[in-house]
Amino acid sequence: MKIRLIAMALIAAPGLFAQGGDQDVRRELDELRKEIAELRQGGAQSSEDAPDKGVDRLLSDKAGETTVGGYGELHYNSPQGAVDTLDFHRFIFHITHRFDERLSFASEIELEHAFVKGGNGELELEQAHLTYRLLDNLDVRAGVLLLPMGYVNRYHEPPTFYSVERPEFSKNIVPTTWFESGISFGWTPTPDVRLEAGVFGPLDATKFKAGDGVRSGRQKAFETKVNEPAYSGRLEYLGFQDLHLAGAFYIGNSNQTDASFGSARVTGVSGELVSFGQAYGLPENEVRIEAAMFTIDGNEDISTALGASIPGRFWGFYIEDAYQIYGDPGMKEKNALFLFARFEYLRNQSDMNGVVADPTKNREKIVFGAAFRPHPRVVFKMDYEWIDDRSGTIDPPDQWNLGIGYMF
């Protein structure tokens, strides 16, 4: 109860700094929303100061032109009672190419923890896909794709979120990044509405682990076993001023090789709300809310086979508020300082269906800190994590974090 009261106070605190409206900011945000809609319909634009996200930001207007970009982040973690660590967590390269006005290619290659040797570090191809615009508002993508679930899963460059580490929700509820081979269609019937639906390589239940949802079951486009494909889709709505709303679904059998697992069908839904600026009486801040729930059919058989506590259902949410206390207002800010707070509520061991639960996997987490952007694509961060689990016996260590990040 105490941690929830503190969370409510922290989330509400940035609103105390609220100031009067700014018509120039509103006008700038309206223009930004129109630019995003144009990007979705194939009209790529670029600006050195644009607060754009995702690999598509790099696509050129010019046929035959190749562009290179990337992002990266360095972390210093100081957990209580443990050794501090300094880690270049991620180093990413993007390569994109515009064949003509309808056909393009985009890719993302990631190196984690500086090198790959002896089971340490990871080198992954997280995106590599062709996009063909069938009509002005209809496109098809094929290759290695991000599944259309989760805001941070889709937009995870370090300057686009405030904490040093990504939300734990985006690790153990909706895994980030969740990529797989597949084909996806996108339809933009109006500038405010975007629908996506696709067929993807499925999860592999033989790799599931207790406490991390379906994260360990990702096959990551490596010789993906496909007994049955998985399906995922997304609906986005931008019709409200300064407000992003989206919902997504996932469904697919995760038993690819072992008949004793049954279908091991995984079903999931997620939703997200992101509010910018002063719309609806809010101060000049950014509010984010994400929530998701997944079910795993036959978790009892899977748990017995793996010797692990695999849940029949797991779910969670987080709410975050960030307030700009210094610098020019608006989404294209330079020399901008933000204070933020986030509360996460995670239930990774829910509805166990007779399987013995591990209460240490059910946790609540508060993160609060500051982020300074000397440039919209460069950020310096500092925060503190306070974690509480439901075991009543183990006290997870709290932690200080420092970080720098960039994107280009």
Where are the chain's structural domains?
2-90+145-407
Nearest alpha carbon to residue 230 among 251, 247, 256:
251
Q: Is 280 exposed, middle or buried (0-12, 13-18, 19+ CB in 10 A)?
A: exposed
Architecture per CATH, domain 2-90+145-407, reads as Beta Barrel (2.40)
What is the reported pLDDT for 242?
83
What is the reported pLDDT for 14?
47
What is the reported pLDDT for 49?
38
pLDDT in tens, 179-235: 999 999 999 999 999 999 999 999 999 999 998 999 999 999 999 999 899 999 999
What is the reported pLDDT for 28?
52
Contact 12, 338 (CB under 8 A): no
What is the reported pLDDT for 46?
36
Question: Distance between CA 252 and CA 233 in Å, rounded?
Answer: 12
Nearest alpha carbon to residue 334 among 282, 303, 280, 378:
378
Contact 54, 107 (CB under 8 A): no
Question: Distance between CA 393 and CA 10 in Å, rounded?
Answer: 26
Alpha helices in 90-159 (DSSP H): 151-154
Contact 145, 182 (CB under 8 A): yes
Question: Distance between CA 44 and CA 281 in Å, rounded?
Answer: 32
User: Residue type for 266, please?
Assistant: V
Task: Give the Cα-Cα-Cα angle 141, 151, 278 (nearest 5 degrees).
Answer: 125
Return the structure tokens found at 402: 């420092």
Is residue 42 pLDDT above 80, yes or no?
A: no
Classify residue 330 as left (phi > 0), alpha (psi -120 to 50) or beta. left
Distances (CA, A) of 339 to 30, 333, 336, 406: 24, 15, 10, 19
Contact 272, 253 (CB under 8 A): no
Q: Of 50-64, 127-141, 162-176, 295-309, which range is least confident?
A: 50-64
Query: Containing H/E element for 25?
Result: helix 23-40
Is residue 39 pLDDT above 60, yes or no?
A: no
pLDDT in tens, 348-371: 998 898 898 888 889 999 999 999
- Phi then psi for residue 13, to 5 deg, are -55, -45
Return the structure tokens found at 180: 């797989």
